[in-house]
Amino acid sequence: MFKCYKFENMIITPHKYPFAINDDGLPIHIDNISQENRKQTHYYCYGCGAELFPVLGEKREHHFRHEKDAICDPDKYLHDLPRRQ
């Protein structure tokens, strides 16, 4: 079981992040990613700097996800998120 965090009416879990940083160092929301452009750039985590992957399925809410073995502290992600917005 893992903790959930709330940020501006969004529920953030340790594996589902709505924001990432693109190759240009700019913040990007998952809603700005489409199936067509999802592989045109790389996305990185606010908290740990590891690469994130857009998840754009039809059953679950769209989000960015780390690789399975990534170690990231959601508290650091949430702490750094408002600074880059």
d(CA 6, CA 48): 19
Please state whether the predicted TM-score (pTM) of the whole model is above 0.75.
Answer: no
d(CA 18, CA 33): 11
What single DSSP character describes residue 17? B
Q: What is the pLDDT of residues 13-61, one digit of tens each?
A: 545 788 999 999 999 999 999 998 888 899 998 888 899 999 998 888 8
Q: Which sequence spans correspond to the domains of the chain? A: 5-84
Q: What is the pLDDT of residues 23-34, one digit of tens each?
A: 999 999 999 999
